[in-house]
């Protein structure tokens, strides 16, 4: 199993995994336009808007991670933010997620980040156990706040 940065050729496999993740989370999957934007943002922009990593099992992409940098004003350092981590069900319980997280933690250190952060769904107990197992702290006091600019959002009066 090789953990590596994704290449443009991995784009279709990553999109397929994103669609599997959407099914797992019971969310609408990205349509073809969104999939095209993702590939362009990851591989045609300089710098890329999103960094994609994959777990390659003998030429088959079985997992992906999507991350980007944000910034901590309190630490005055960048933060590596993990947007997605998904392992195909056929490749689970083989240490793939643990290896991806370790590689991304190393990447955060190489970049001089002060933090490596992500969200976890409150009902995903398996993921919470995995994250605790790699030394992550689940922050109970923080909640996601969102204004959806492409969906049904409400503007304040």
Q: How many CB atoms lie within 10 A of CB 142?
A: 9
Residue 127: CB partners within 8 Å, gap ≥ 6? 120, 121
Among residues 53, 86, 116, 131, the one annotated as catalytic is: 131
* Residue 58 C-alpha from the chain's centroid: 22
Q: Is 64 a catalytic residue?
A: no
Burial profile 58-72: b = 16 or more Cβ within 10 angstroms, e = fewer: eeebbbbbbbbeeee
Q: Where in the sequence numbering do the catalytic residues fall?
A: 131
């Amino acid at each position: 199993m090789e953990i590596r940065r994704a290449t443009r050729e991995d784009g279709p496999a990553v999109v397929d995994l994103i669609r599997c993740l959407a099914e797992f989370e019971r969310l609408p999957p990205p349509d073809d336009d969104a999939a095209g934007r993702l590939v362009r943002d990851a591989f045609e922009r300089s710098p890329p808007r999103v960094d994609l990593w994959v777990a390659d099992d003998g030429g088959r992409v079985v997992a992906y991670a999507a991350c980007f940098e944000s910034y901590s004003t309190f630490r005055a350092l960048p933060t590596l933010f993990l947007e997605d981590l998904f392992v195909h069900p056929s490749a689970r319980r083989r240490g793939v997620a643990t290896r991806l997280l370790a590689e991304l933690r190393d990447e955060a250190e190489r970049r001089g980040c002060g933090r490596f952060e992500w969200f976890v769904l409150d009902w995903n107990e398996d993921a919470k156990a995995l994250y605790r197992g790699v030394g992550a702290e689940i922050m109970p006091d923080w909640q996601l706040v969102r204004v959806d600019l492409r969906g049904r959002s409400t503007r304040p009066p």
